[in-house]
Amino acid sequence: MSKFSHAIYISLFFIVGITSTVLLYFNGRDYYAAPKEARPHTEADLLWRPSQIDEIPRYQKKLGYHSEAHIILEPKGYLGHALGIAGTLMMIIGVSTYMIRKRARMFFRWGILKHWLEFHIFLCVVGPIFVLYHTAFKFGGIVSISFWSMTAVVVSGVAGRFIYTKIPRSIKGNELDSQEIARMQKENTLMLQEKFNLDQAIMDEIEKAGASGDTKGTGTWSSLLTIFSDWFLIRNSLNSLRERLKNSGVTDKKLVKEILSAAKEKISLDRKNRILRSMHKLFKYWHIFHLPFAITMFIIMLIHVAVTVYYGAGWIF
């Protein structure tokens, strides 16, 4: 997948996720804002109204419900029920496909792991949003445990993605070992020296940027602080390098861009390698936190589905 194709791939995820969230909000904001006991009689301007709405379900007639919004948006309503099913399937597909691609050797060549991770993140962020709208923002009992477990999974997943990006990886998304990292560092240095013919003073500055900081402070917390400070360090280093190139007579914009890109890659790899051990440790702790919440969420979710089906709540359409 080219950079342009990958940009479209990611953009589609953002567009679908943000658009669906915004449309769901505006479709039922009056209904969701109403107290739970008032919702069966709450009228709201809906963006979507199914043709079946003229036939009010028997149980709602018996209870005296007359709100179209309630018929559509409650957890067992036309849209509410569909969102619950769609959100659940998205999470199951998102987790299973990524786990299979990551662990089953026969699928190792099926695309880049990074792209599968992005697909996993998309489904496991939008899926919970659909489930949230399925609950109509009202939940209790055992379902609330599943919901808050789901929330913990999503939040910790964002943190996990952040840690994931700080561990050096190949183009395929596989983690690099120490020998591969050393080889890449050497290749970056040779490319800067031979391809761009940079003088030793500039090379020393790039090396200094990659190795700057207290080399003893590589504990977990100091490494986290280093990650946040690295963004400013790399940015300042590249600005300084740009000025040095300008003063050295290198003014071709394309060439300057190539040099800065190569320098950024080298500095970033050096910085990541410096805190690699801490990131491995932190990633292990993250798994210990993330996995139990995910298991709890899916177990209670399956119990919830089984109970609702047992009591006759099938596919509403």
* Six-digit token string for 216: 């003893």
Kindly state the tokens that stand for 46.
Answer: 């809906």
Average pLDDT over residues 103-121: 82
Q: What is the pLDDT of residues 241-271, one digit of tens each?
A: 888 888 877 778 888 888 888 888 888 777 7
pLDDT of residue 235: 82
Question: 84 or 283: which carries more pLDDT confidence?
Answer: 84
Q: Are the beta carbons of 101 and 113 closer than 8 angstroms? A: yes
Per-residue pLDDT of 276-292, as tens digits, reads 767 777 777 777 878 88
Domain boundaries, the chain: 3-171+282-310, 178-274
Instruction: Give the model's confidence band at 62: pLDDT under 50 very low, under 70 low, under 90 confident, else very high.
Output: very low
Taking CA atoms, 240 is separated from 185, 209, 260, 298, in Å, by 21, 11, 10, 51
Q: For the residues 219-247, what does the mean pLDDT come to?
A: 74
